């Protein structure tokens, strides 16, 4: 079935566009297309609801460790968050509201994961899990980056007698009250879970493989006066949004470009947070042996207090296997558990896979990415005509809120789509130019603490090279304000 409208030569006509994913990037893409007067698009979502990461992550304590008032679309501010770090449920409600308000809901199809997409010479033939086959001149991946749970290869997981799940698949029907709960991992997701559980559970055992540096800015509650001001005084919400972004960029600039002194500022925060651990032995266990900022810094006000609760135990002995009754450790002890949560992160280099993508001359995505990742300015791939990505490889992380990054990328992609709408045919970036740009990014990224700091993290690809550009949001906005058509091959669409 076609998305709608006429097939093939589309110059001057409305193109058919398919977007994979209804997280914050897919919704944004839909809104921007509608604002350009392009309504002939479908958003295929693998799950039965929108919201991406905020739909998936419903574990106790889930919130956004980026200030909520900045974690919104620039054209749809939300003055109503009551706390600096908004709870996940409120963020999900925000994206639902915005998708509805801007008319994106009617373009959504749920339970329709894109299984494959193949370029036929003039359009993409797309196969979805709901059995639909679609044709579209433009295909966009808005699949996100941290959405495929990384299930660790720990022997015996399937033997565990109680419920177990990944943090992004937390099962709310499983009660944890007065239960013995285990959490594997101590990253950002784990820290939020650990902070929420002690008052509910009988016992919490945290299995740590490596400690993560953490900082603990308070989750300030906005006063009623401040909230009323943001809601009712024109311009106030915008001013606050700009202020938060300017503050975030200032911090990122200090960290990324401030040399040792800049790094030290963040390191001081991390050391001050660690100093709140009163027991020297526990503090020692929680002290990383790598540079601050090498792994993504955990931002969690309540973590230090939670990990020191009498019913919480930090286990640093390695895990041998999982058994029916709990987790067996290298020293032979068994930690008996009723519920086990794997806060073990995501397969950050999967991107839109396991979807298969076949482009020009039958080149597949796996072939294109066989040796290392290539990606043109985070949004396009050589040999993949009229295929665009939001939050693709080398998207900034840690320096810029993802919503801002998605807006910059979407603005760029819209310019490419505009060109296609005017002139037809197909666009894809030049291979040599793409590889030169990737080399520049990698050189930049290799100067950062992510590469030099002496740790493993999801920022790195399998060769240990950062998949993240340390670019600041304002620099990225400037560099991607105007599409670089000279870097693209523009071919007329083939006639079949």
Interacting residues with ligand NAP (CB under 6 A): 64-66, 146, 152, 154, 167, 184-190, 207, 209-210, 296, 319, 343-346, 456, 458
Q: Which is nearer to ligand NAP, 27 or 190 (CB)?
A: 190
Helical packing angle, 224-232 and 236-257, nearest 10°: 110
Cα 196 to Cα 57: distance, rounded to the nearest angstrom: 14
Alpha helices in 258-339 (DSSP H): 259-274, 280-285, 303-307
Q: Please, which residue, 319 or 476, has the CB nearer to ligand NAP?
A: 319
Closer CB to ligand NAP, 184 or 201, in the complex: 184
* Token digits of residue 311: 């019913």
Taking the least distance from each CB to ligand NAP, the nearer of 182 and 429 is 182
Provide, rounded to whole angstroms, the least separation between the CB of residue 90 and ligand NAP: 13
Q: How far is the CB of 53 from ligand NAP (least distance, A)?
A: 8
H runs (alpha helix) in 2-87: 24-35, 53-56
**Closer residue to ligand NAP (CB): 376 or 450:** 450
Q: Are 188 and 65 in contact (CB under 8 A)?
A: yes
Q: Is 378 left (phi over 0), alpha (psi -120 to 50) or beta?
A: left
* Beta carbon of residue 48, minimum distance to ligand NAP (angstroms, whole number): 22
Q: Label residues 3-15 b or e (16+ Cβ within 10 Å = b).
A: beeeebebeeebb
Query: How does DSSP classify residue 194?
Result: H
42 versus 212: smaller Cβ distance to ligand NAP: 212
| Cα atoms in the Cβ-side hemisphere of radius 13 Å centred on 272 | 10
Integer Cα distance of 58 and 386 in angstroms:
35
**Closest distance to ligand NAP from the beta carbon of 481 (Å):** 26
Smallest gap from Cβ 422 to ligand NAP, in A, equals: 38
The token pair at 27 is 């919704």
Nearer to ligand NAP, 83 or 210 (CB): 210
Q: Are 335 and 315 in contact (CB under 8 A)?
A: yes
- CB–CB of 248/242 below 8 Å? no
Q: Which is nearer to ligand NAP, 207 or 369 (CB)?
A: 207
Minimum CB distance to ligand NAP, residue 91 (Å): 9
Q: Based on CB atoms, which residue is closest to ligand NAP, 148 or 383? A: 148
- Minimum distance, C-beta of residue 29 to ligand NAP, in the bound complex (Å): 21
* Distance of closest approach, residue 244 Cβ to ligand NAP, in angstroms: 14
Please give the distance of CA 250 from its chain centroid, rounded to a whole number: 22
- Min. distance of Cβ 295 from ligand NAP in angstroms? 6
Q: What do you get for the CA distance between the two ends of the chain, in Å?
A: 18
What are the residues whose beta carbons fall under 8 Å from the beta carbon of 86, sequence distance 6 or more?
A: 63, 64, 68, 71, 94
CA within 13 Å, CB half, 29: 35
Smallest separation, CB 340 to ligand NAP (Å):
12
Quick count: other Cβ atoms within 10 Å of Cβ 78?
A: 22
Considering the complex, state which of residue 4 and residue 318 has its C-beta at the smaller distance from ligand NAP: 318
């Amino acid at each position: 079935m076609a998305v709608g409208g006429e097939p093939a030569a589309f110059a001057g006509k409305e193109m058919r566009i398919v977007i994979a994913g209804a997280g914050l990037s897919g919704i944004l893409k839909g809104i921007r297309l509608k604002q350009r007067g392009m309504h002939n698009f479908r958003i295929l979502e693998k799950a039965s609801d929108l919201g991406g990461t905020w739909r998936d992550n419903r574990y106790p304590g889930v919130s956004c460790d980026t200030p909520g008032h900045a974690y919104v679309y620039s054209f749809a501010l939300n003055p109503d968050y009551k706390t600096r770090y908004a709870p996940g449920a409120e963020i999900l409600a925000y994206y639902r509201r915005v998708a509805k308000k801007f008319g994106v809901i009617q373009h959504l199809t749920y339970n329709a994961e894109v299984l494959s997409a193949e370029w036929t010479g003039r359009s993409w033939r797309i196969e979805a899990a709901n059995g639909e086959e679609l044709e579209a001149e433009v295909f966009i991946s808005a699949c996100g980056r941290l959405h495929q749970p990384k299930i660790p290869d720990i022997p015996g997981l399937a033997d565990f007698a109680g419920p177990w799940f990944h943090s992004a698949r937390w099962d709310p029907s499983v009660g944890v009250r007065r239960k013995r709960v285990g959490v594997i991992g101590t990253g950002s997701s784990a820290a939020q879970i650990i902070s929420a559980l002690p008052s509910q559970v009988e016992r919490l055992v945290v299995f740590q493989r490596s400690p993560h540096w953490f900082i603990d800015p308070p989750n300030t509650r906005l006063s009623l006066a401040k909230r009323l001001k943001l809601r009712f005084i024109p311009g106030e919400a915008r001013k606050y949004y700009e202020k938060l972004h300017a503050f975030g960029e200032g911090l990122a600039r200090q960290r990324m470009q401030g040399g040792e002194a800049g790094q030290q500022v963040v390191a001081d925060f991390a050391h001050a947070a660690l100093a709140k651990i009163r027991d020297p032995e526990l503090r020692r266990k929680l002290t990383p042996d790598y540079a601050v900022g090498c792994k993504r810094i955990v931002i969690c006000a309540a973590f230090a207090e939670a990990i020191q609760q009498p019913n919480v135990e930090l286990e640093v002995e390695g895990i041998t296997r999982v058994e029916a009754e709990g987790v067996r450790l290298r020293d032979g002890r068994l930690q008996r558990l009723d519920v086990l949560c794997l806060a073990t992160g995501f397969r950050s280099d999967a991107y839109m896979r396991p979807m298969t993508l076949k482009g020009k001359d039958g080149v597949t995505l796996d072939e294109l990415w066989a040796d290392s990742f290539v990606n043109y300015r985070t949004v396009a791939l050589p040999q993949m005509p009229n295929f665009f990505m939001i939050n693709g490889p080398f998207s900034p992380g840690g320096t810029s809120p993802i919503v801002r990054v998605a807006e910059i990328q979407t603005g760029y992609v819209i310019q490419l789509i505009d060109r296609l709408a005017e002139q037809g045919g197909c666009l894809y970036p030049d291979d040599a130019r793409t590889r030169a740009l990737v080399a520049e990014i990698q050189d930049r990224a290799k100067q950062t603490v992510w590469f030099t700091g002496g740790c493993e993290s999801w920022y790195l690809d399998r060769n240990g090279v950062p998949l993240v550009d340390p670019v600041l949001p304002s620099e990225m906005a400037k560099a991607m304000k105007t599409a670089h058509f000279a870097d693209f091959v523009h071919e007329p669409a083939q006639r079949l």
